[in-house]
Amino acid sequence: MELGPIFRRLRTTAFCCIIGVSFVWTILFCVDLFIRWDNSDIAQRNLVVVLVIVNAITVVILPILLIVRFRAWLDAIRLIFLIFAHGATALAYTLWFPFVQCPNATSADQVAVCRVFSMFILIASWINPGLLLAYAICLAVAVNLYYRRGVSSPNSEMQDEEKNNDDANTLDTARRPSVLPIMTPPPMGAAPLMDRSSFSNSRVGSSEITTHVSHASRHLSIDIDDGLAAKTILCIYNERFASFIRTFV
């Protein structure tokens, strides 16, 4: 699905801004935890830790969205997850903010500083949800305009991919030669097949050749039998002549 070069540039710019803001907030929240670990209560520390985790996840997910192939529905699913994570954390911190406490603050200045840091965290927690929500609205508008230009349904992207795969499989099947020789068409310029008369003539010729070969083999077997009989008779006469000579000796 291609939404045009302008949308791609806006998408890359928005993601880079969100990644940069999330990275900065991750560092600042970690510094805040390190500096004010003893001057904040347990609820505030837990909420700040959750903010650090959510911003770190955002820094990891958005570059992946820039690298992989763009799909509107996958982009929407990941955006919904990020908006829900950032929005839920920011809402929880907002609801807790009126009850913020600075247990180790001993002076009014320390309490004021604690309040300023808490206000900073509150404002920072709502920046990323606002940016993500603005990008989600732009994505919805761009997809709507894309489908109004001539695409029939939102599922056309997956249908196009399936159609391309089917076309590729059909092309491979057409290029693959058949197993049976009779199913394979003759190449261009090949000699035509024999007609029925030539085929019958060839059958007659082959039958005549077979007849001559059978007669020749029969004569050969007769000659071989006559030769064996002559040799047998000669051997018998030789034995009788030898016995006759022995009687006189």
Question: What are the residue boundaries of the structural domains of the chain, listed by start?
Answer: 5-153, 213-249
Confidence check: pLDDT of 53 > 90: yes
Contact between 82 and 61 under an 8 Å Cβ cutoff? The reply is yes
Q: How far apart are CA 94 and CA 122, in angstroms?
A: 6
Q: What band does 195 get if pLDDT is binned at 50, 70 and 90?
A: very low
- Tokens 């650090």 identify what position? 52
pLDDT 10s digits, 104-163: 667 777 778 778 888 888 888 899 999 999 888 888 888 888 777 755 444 554 555 555
Tokens of 245: 């000579």
Confidence check: pLDDT of 244 > 50: yes
Q: Determine the average pLDDT of the residues in 168-181.
A: 52
Whole-Å CA distances, 189 to 45, 73, 192: 85, 54, 9
What torsion do the CA atoms of 68, 73, 78, 82 make, to the nearest 10 degrees?
Answer: 140
Q: Determine the average pLDDT of the residues in 93-110.
A: 77
Confidence check: pLDDT of 83 > 80: yes
Confidence check: pLDDT of 208 > 90: no
DSSP category for residue 104? T
A 10 A CB-CB count for 236 gives 9
Q: How far apart are CA 118 and CA 93, in angstroms?
A: 9
Q: How far apart are CA 139 and CA 15, in angstroms?
A: 12
More confident position, 197 or 101 = 101
Confidence check: pLDDT of 175 > 90: no
Q: Determine the average pLDDT of the residues in 64-83.
A: 84
Kindly report the backbone phi and psi dihedral angles of residue 184, in degrees, each rounded to the nearest multiple of 5, phi listed first: -90, 125
What is the model's pLDDT at position 26? 92
Contact between 20 and 84 under an 8 Å Cβ cutoff? The reply is no
A 10 A CB-CB count for 52 gives 18
165: amino acid identity, one letter? N
- Tokens 């929500």 identify what position? 133
